[in-house]
Amino acid sequence: PVQAMFVVPKRQFKKAHDRNKLKRRMREAYRLHKSEFYEGLRVTDKKLILAFIFVGKKIEEYSTIEKAIVKEITSLKQQAPSA
C-alpha cells in the first residue's frame, strides 16, 4: 500500500558513493520500521507515495538517520486516515 523514494541532492553531495551511502542508510531505517506504519494502513484501501529527501550538509551516522525516519513514520502514522 505504500511506495517510498529516497532522494539525496547531487548539489550537496557531488560523489555518487556518498549519495548512495546516505540512500542505503535511509532505506534500511525505513525497511526496519515500516511495519509499524503499515499496521494502520492495512485496514483501508488507500495507497500512499512517500518521498524522503535528505537535507543535511554532511554525511550522517545511521543512528541519526534512523531517529529521523522513525520520527517521520510516527508523525505520518498519526496523520494517516484510519477506517
pLDDT, residue 9, reads 96
The answer to whether position 66 is within a domain reads yes
The answer to whether position 21 is within a domain reads yes
How long is the chain? 83
Could you tell me the pLDDT band of residue 83, with boundaries at 50, 70 and 90?
very low
Q: Which amino acid is located at 36 in the chain? A: E
pTM, two decimals, is: 0.85
Tally of structural domains, the chain: 1
Instruction: Compute the Cα dihedral for 23, 29, 31, 34 and give only its sign.
Output: negative
21/43: higher pLDDT: 21
The answer to whether position 30 is within a domain reads yes
Q: Where are the beta strands (DSSP E) in 1-83?
A: 2-7, 48-53
How far apart (Å, rounded) are the C-alpha atoms in residues 54 and 56? 6
The answer to whether position 65 is within a domain reads yes
**Parent domain of 73:** 2-78
pLDDT, residue 30, reads 95
The answer to whether position 83 is within a domain reads no
pLDDT score of 39 more than 80 = no
pLDDT, residue 79, reads 79
The answer to whether position 38 is within a domain reads yes
pLDDT score of 1 more than 50 = yes
